[in-house]
Amino acid sequence: MSAKENLGDYYADTAYTPTKRQHWEEANPERDTIIGSRLSWSRRTQDNGTNEEYGYNNIAISQNWEDQRVEKSLEGDDIFKGMKVCYDHQSIMPPNYTSMAKYLHITMAFSIGFFCLFLFVLCLIIFGALLFWVLGSEDFSYFYEMSRDGFYYLIPLILPCLMLWKGGRYIERKYPEVFFGMRKGPLWQANRKTGLFTIYEPKNAWEKRLEAPFWEYDAFLQSSPDTQGSATYSLILYHPFQQVRQKLDAQFPPTKMPGELVAAWQFLQRYMDVSQPLPDVPGLEIHRHKDPATAAADERKGRNPSYWRDMDEASVKKIQEEKYRKNIRLR
């Protein structure tokens, strides 16, 4: 008996269950593919998620979004139109940042990283020279010259990084509409209630490029080199017959740990699967009672409705670290 038959008319006929994917795979053994590692579909997905999904701050962020939704009386797609994000029991629509916002975020991230790196090298040079002087291996002139050269070569690198870092913080504080600039329409939507995964046109707000049942997509891990030549992985959904692909970076950021994105794929399958409860992560807890399959499962298990909210930050952090250690071993 299907989840729809069990739970009335809440879910659409297109709502996802693993059986539908299994039948689709059997009917389409030969299908188009793209470069990358194709990820498998689980018949019954484990309750898993990325490191970020288990962040303690997600409790407050989710509650803030819910308070805004209630205050503005938003439902369905109007949630994204009014708040530029949706993350609840019905759908996931991540923020769609403007190019300027993305540039500012990337620039500030690199400036912080290089500032710390150059400052560490400078401190290492000064400390090393000081150690040689104190131990008597070199005289004071050696310490002076090494320190002078360190400042001469590294301060011109440290100061611009510091200026970019603090400049980004200033823009974030004074001009949040620029720093957190978002487009009017979403990039994509994963809708648990309907079972549809929708890809939108990037340049035309809310114009659908493709809307298809979730089980018709294949998931891939694709790698690309970063600035240092190391492999960075992204999670991609690809429709093999429409030949349309969508990166999921906005919700599941690129990472050097492929296991984290395997966990992201498991999380997304679990989120869409109406034969199972929602993933048990902090950010979705306040929505669990609104989803019939989840509410029924929680009642059977006697789950504490405030399981995550009753924890202190250290306890949530411990669970988050345990999940992460498990995720990095996933393949």
* 300 and 202 housed in the same domain: yes
Q: What is the pLDDT of residues 203-247, one digit of tens each?
A: 888 999 999 999 999 999 999 876 566 788 999 999 999 999 999
In this prediction, residue 2 carries a pLDDT of 44
Residues 267 and 317 both lie in one domain: yes
Assess if residue 268 is contained within a domain: yes
Asked if residue 21 and residue 38 are part of one domain, the reply reads: yes
Q: What is the pLDDT of residues 107-116, one digit of tens each?
A: 888 888 899 9
111 and 62 within one domain: no
Query: Is the entire prediction scored with pTM above 0.75?
Result: yes
Q: 308 lies in a domain?
A: yes
Mean pLDDT for the stretch of residues 11-38 = 94
Domain identity same for 81 and 144: no
In a domain, 184, yes or no: no
Residues 212 and 232 placed together within one structural domain of the fold? yes
Task: Let me know: does 198 contact 97? Beta carbons within 8 Å.
Answer: no
Locus of tokens 């001009």: 175
Give yes or no: residues 218 and 175 share one domain. no
In a domain, 211, yes or no: yes
221, 322: one domain = yes
One domain, residues 233 and 130: no
- In which region does residue 301 sit, left (phi positive, over 0), alpha (psi from -120 to 50) or beta (all else)? alpha
Q: Indicate whether 264 pLDDT > 90.
A: yes
Does residue 73 lie in a domain region?
yes
Last residue of a domain, one of 179, 204, 233: 179
pLDDT level of residue 278 (50, 70, 90 thresholds): very high
Indicate the residue among 179, 210, 231 that finishes a domain.
Answer: 179
Task: Print the domain residue range for 47.
Answer: 3-96+190-327
From 49-53, 123-127, 137-141, 163-167, the region with the lowest mean pLDDT: 137-141
Domain assignment of residue 142, yes or no: yes
Beta sheet of 86-87, edge-to-edge order = 86-87, 91-93, 188-191, 196-200, 208-213
Nearest Cα to Cα of residue 189 among 207, 173, 175, 176:
207
286 shares a domain with 168: no
Asked if 145 and 247 sit in the same domain, the reply is no
Q: Which of 179, 209, 244 is the endpoint of a domain? A: 179
For residue 248, being part of any structural domain is answered with: yes
185 part of a folded domain: no
Helix (H), strand (E), coil (C) string for 77-146 = CHHHHHHCCEECCCEEECCCECHHHHHHHHHHHHHHHHHHHHHHHHHHHHHHHHHHHHCCCCCHHHHHHH
Per the structure, the count of domains in the chain is 2
Same domain, 298 and 162: no
